[in-house]
Each structure stands twice: as C-alpha cells, then as structure tokens.
Amino acid sequence: MRYSPVIIFLLVILLFSFEREKAEISGKNLKWEDIPIKYHIHKDCYKPIEREKCFEAVTSAFKEWESPECTSLRFERGEDTEEAKASFNSLDLKENKNIVVWIYNDWPYEPNGLALTTVTYDDKTGKIYDADIELNGYNYRFDVVTNPPSTYTDIQNTITHEIGHLIGLDHTFEPSSVMYPTARAGEIKKRELSQDDIDGVCEIYPVSSGCSCSAISYSE
C-alpha cells in the first residue's frame, strides 16, 4: 500500500483562484470509507476575530455538506487541537487528525496561496485516510463577512470550498457551484451548495435508498 498526497491550493490573482489536481487517480475516485469524518479545528481558530464567531463559521461549512437529503455524508467535530500544520502518520493511522488551521508565521507554500488542503489517500483504491486544511493567515485577512463587498476573505465561503476537496470533489466549470475555481474577495455565495454540488456529494456518498436531492436546514 502506498500513501500519496494531493496538494490543493487556493491562489490569489485578481480573483481568488482555486487550483488542484484531479480527484480521480488511475480511474479511482477519491473518497472516505469511514463515516462520520472527524475533524478538528485549531484551538485559536482565526486569532484576529472572536473564537466562537470563527468556530461557528467553520462548523457551518461542514454542516452545509451534510445538508442534502440524498447523501450519507456526515461529519463529527472532535476536540480542538494544538496541531499547527498538516501532517500524516503512516505508521499509526489512528494518530492522524483532519485539521483546520491558520498559518500566521512564514507561510511555507506558494506565496500567493490563500489556502491549501493536503489529502492523503491510497493510490490503488482512492481511499482517503487524512485531509488537512491550512489557511494563509500570514499574507491575507479573513473574517465572517456580513456586508459584501469586502476586502476580507469570508471564512465560511473558503472553508466550504475546501471541504469539497477534503471529501474528494474536483473543480467544476459551473459558475454557481461551490466548487467553481475562482472567488472574489468578500464573496459569500459559496456558503451554500448549488445543485451541481449536491449532485456531486450524493454521487460519491449516496444514501442506501432513493430520495430527492434537496437540502435540509438546521435550526441552530
């Protein structure tokens, strides 16, 4: 068994441009076999804003991907983590955590990269074992945008897109999709799944019996 990483960048040009490798390796689609997928947010979340405000934006992004009635995809928020960068332990898979973390000092990747997701998978089967989302808090400013347009990058908008990669989805050329590869500063439309996104997640993680692919809402 060989573990292979997929490095996924969100780059900033005039628009925010999402770039990644294809989510199909040697004819195998990347996907998680163990549901729910547990994730961990860094204990500081994004330092410049209130922690609870940041936590709510991140968890709302995960809930959005659970919302279509036609998918079995579920997430579980684990305890907050102090892990400060992406990593993978191939010797003890149980030690791995799927983390969401901001990098504040010396962003080590492409200098214009806004976010990066590293997905580790079995290159024979496409089974995903680990996925870490890192965001560039060194060069860019994030917030929960309430009144666009804004010069800030919306946390939920960005994380919702990155979760799409975390679960094995690739880019689409459908402009209304969360997985469309560009976004303007202050954009918030990627907070909500489009029908294209719903079709994608329900194809990879379907429920056991037929149902309509509409979204459900959360009251909290």
Nearest of 19, 43, 10 to residue 139 by alpha carbon: 10
If you write DSSP's letter for every residue of 106-140 in order, what string do you get? S--S-TTEEEEEEEEEETTT-BEEEEEEEEETTT-
For residue 184, the model assigns a pLDDT of: 85
Q: Which fold has domain 3-204?
A: Collagenase (Catalytic Domain) (3.40.390)
d(CA 129, CA 111): 27
Q: Is the pLDDT of residue 38 over 50?
A: yes
pLDDT in tens, 99-130: 999 999 988 888 777 888 889 999 889 999 99
d(CA 196, CA 86): 29
Q: pTM (2 decimals)?
A: 0.86
Percent share of the chain, pLDDT over 90: 64
Q: Is the pLDDT of residue 4 over 80?
A: no
Single-letter amino acid, residue 101: V
C-beta of residue 30 within 8 angstroms of C-beta of residue 6: yes
* DSSP character at residue 2: -
pLDDT band at 42 (very low <50, low <70, confident <90, very high): very high
- The domain segmentation of the chain, as residue ranges, is 3-204
Question: DSSP E strands: which ranges in the chain?
Answer: 3-12, 16-19, 24-25, 28-29, 37-41, 75-77, 98-103, 113-122, 128-136, 142-143, 153-154, 182-183
